[in-house]
Amino acid sequence: MAQAIKSLNASMAASGQSAERSKITNYLPALLPLIGAFLILAARIKFGASAVPNDGALVVLAVLMYLISSASLLTNFWAPVPFLQRLGLWMLSLGFLFNFSGWLVRWVAAGDRENWVRMTNQITGEYHFWWFFSYIPYANLYDLSVAFAFGAGFATLLVSQRENSRFIGAVSTPLISLILLMAVFIGSEFINLPPVLDSYWRPIHVGVASLSYGVALVSFAMAVVYLIKDGVKMESMALTVAGFVVLTYGFVWLMSGVKGLDPFSMSFRLNPVIPHATGVTNPGARIAVPGAGLAATLSLLTLLAAAICFAMYLYRQNESAKRYGHWLMRASIVAQVATIGFVFYSIKTMTAVGSLIGNDQAYRVGKTLLSKEAAGKSIAEITSIGANWLASNRDAMVLSVKGNPIEIAALISLLVVTCFLALFSFRTEKIRESLPPLERIDSLIYKLVGVAFAGLAILLVTGAVWANESWGRYWGWDAKETGALVAWFAYGGYLHSRISHGWAGRRSVYFALIGFLLVIFTYLGVSYILPGLHAYADPS
């Protein structure tokens, strides 16, 4: 008997050790890239810039890995193969490795660029104990986008440590890729940080923001998966997406005018830039892109027509309308691909860009050049300043994705979302069967929203302290501050309704969706549409 008990205890101990090893192994895709990234950082510091790729190349590699991961995990939905799941997970891991190491390499490059002069205060000569900390790359939207992406990548890897949770990468990695693509479009040029913003609170505040945004992205992806598992029809999702596009388009139109696409004239206009120039490189002028305007208008109209057909199907059970809606959605995909093709072809081939800018744009150019100073000048003065600048700089103007990073990213994002709707409309029941139980997904969303809520709270507090240090006030109702507060309230609504009123499932999921949309609005919309003090978001 004693021997049997000893044998049982030994067996249980071995089983426990095996389970512990298995648990550690599950986290290796998240832990190994961290080690690899710091090894790349050590090589960059020890052997110099030539020893490792620069941050731009590493970010491009990260985008490629994320896309391969997304393709593998998506394919696994319809053709479940263990190899595809493992490939998707390890490509995601590689993507995070390149993403994070690119950001770390940029950190050292930022210090090398200034010869690490922030070791001492340039005015008082006082030693800065946080000198290395102050070079953390959080100076502009490129830096924040790279950090946003690796925060989302790391959160996805942590959530994916269990086999029945690895599906989430199929939805989150395309979103991460879009964030990084936008960073590539913005460009990796360094900017000179204004002295008023050079505080040790800057990397703390913006670092918390990027990581919190990353967790919010994964919670959004989980919420979308929950709705699919819960039986929400793809036609309902398509109708919601079309409505969101129309509302967003209308809001941008009312706030600042649609600068790129004017559907009433069927024109698509890109903003030229002056490469390798100091000061204003984005003059506020617009160049019409042949063909892109018509294709973009058709893509929006066909998407809207598809939404109308889906509405008829949902409310009248009209199967013919459903069929026509799916054909129109596919037509919209074709038109969107054509739009993006026209845009990139024009950027690559269009010459003599400056000669295409009419004098009717002189006022807009002058207003862009003067910025806040335009308020004190007459229309004639502003127009004259713009006309003189155009006369001197026409020959230097070129088209570049860096002149329109948000508009081009928006085109690609709409294409990705529409493709997702079309893909998940195919054999949807098979996808639902492959997903874990609703309770498991709901539990993961709850945990992620809790982390995002806490992160946004810290974001607001550290931002207030930094604002007081820089501008002498804790809160000024700046557009970005207010946007972050509203997003925090949305996640607070999720937690409050769940804890106090017992809400769960689909009702709570809507809060997670709205919260992330508000995060994106704060991250991009506020930066480019509404005026504010967060000048780091300006790509020019």
Q: How does pLDDT run across 456-488, given as a tens digit for each residue?
A: 999 999 888 888 877 778 777 777 788 888 899
Is residue 123 predicted with pLDDT exceeding 70?
A: no
Position 303 scores a pLDDT of 93
Instruction: Kindly state whether residues 379 and 487 are assigned to the same domain.
Output: no
For residue 287, the 8-state DSSP code is E
Q: Which segments of 114-140 does DSSP mark as H helices, in order?
A: none
| pLDDT top residue among 345 and 134 | 345
With respect to residue 285, please indicate whether it lies within any of the assigned structural domains: yes
Instruction: Kindly state whether residues 77 and 188 are assigned to the same domain.
Output: yes
- Compute the half-sphere exposure of residue 42: CA atoms within 13 Å on the CB side of its CA: 6
Segment holding 39, helix H or strand E: helix 28-47
Q: Which residue carries 């995060």 as its tokens?
A: 519
Is residue 536 predicted with pLDDT exceeding 90?
A: no
Nearest partner of 169 among 69, 26, 29, judged by Cα: 69
Position 279 scores a pLDDT of 60
Nearest partner of 293 among 230, 333, 335, judged by Cα: 335
Predicted confidence (pLDDT) per residue in 243-296, tens digit: 888 888 877 777 666 778 887 788 899 989 888 766 667 788 889 999 999 999
Tokens linked to 387: 């006309």
At 120, the pLDDT band (50, 70, 90 cuts) reads low
Task: Name residue 288's beta-bridge partners.
Answer: 269
Position 209 scores a pLDDT of 86
With respect to residue 19, please indicate whether it lies within any of the assigned structural domains: no
Instruction: Kindly state whether residues 228 and 270 are assigned to the same domain.
Output: no
pTM of the model: 0.87
Position 538 scores a pLDDT of 42
**Domain range for 385:** 261-403
> What's the CA angle centered on 30, arms 25 and 35, to 5 degrees?
100
With respect to residue 200, please indicate whether it lies within any of the assigned structural domains: yes
Q: Tell me the C-alpha distance between 197 and 185, whole Å.
A: 25
The 3 state secondary structure assigned to 221-278 is HHHHHHHHHCCCCHHHHHHHHHHHHHHHHHHHHHHHCCCCEECCCCEEEECCECCCCC
Domain boundary among 357, 388, 403: 403
Instruction: Kindly state whether residues 211 and 81 are assigned to the same domain.
Output: yes
Answer whether 210's CB lies under 8 Å from 144's CB.
Answer: yes
Is residue 340 predicted with pLDDT exceeding 60?
A: yes
Answer whether 37's CB lies under 8 Å from 104's CB.
Answer: yes
CA dist 245 → 70, 252, 304 (Å) = 24, 11, 9
With respect to residue 171, please indicate whether it lies within any of the assigned structural domains: yes
Is residue 17 predicted with pLDDT exceeding 60?
A: no
| CB-count burial class (<10 Å; 0-12, 13-18, 19+) for 314 | middle
Predicted confidence (pLDDT) per residue in 237-249, tens digit: 999 999 888 888 8
| pLDDT top residue among 311 and 140 | 311
With respect to residue 206, please indicate whether it lies within any of the assigned structural domains: yes
Instruction: Kindly state whether residues 439 and 519 are assigned to the same domain.
Output: yes
Instruction: Kindly state whether residues 153 and 211 are assigned to the same domain.
Output: yes
At 407, the pLDDT band (50, 70, 90 cuts) reads confident
Percentages (nearest 5) of helix, strand, coil residues in the chain: 75, 0, 20
Amino acid identity of residue 8, one-letter, is: L
**Count: domains in the chain:** 2
At 149, the pLDDT band (50, 70, 90 cuts) reads very high
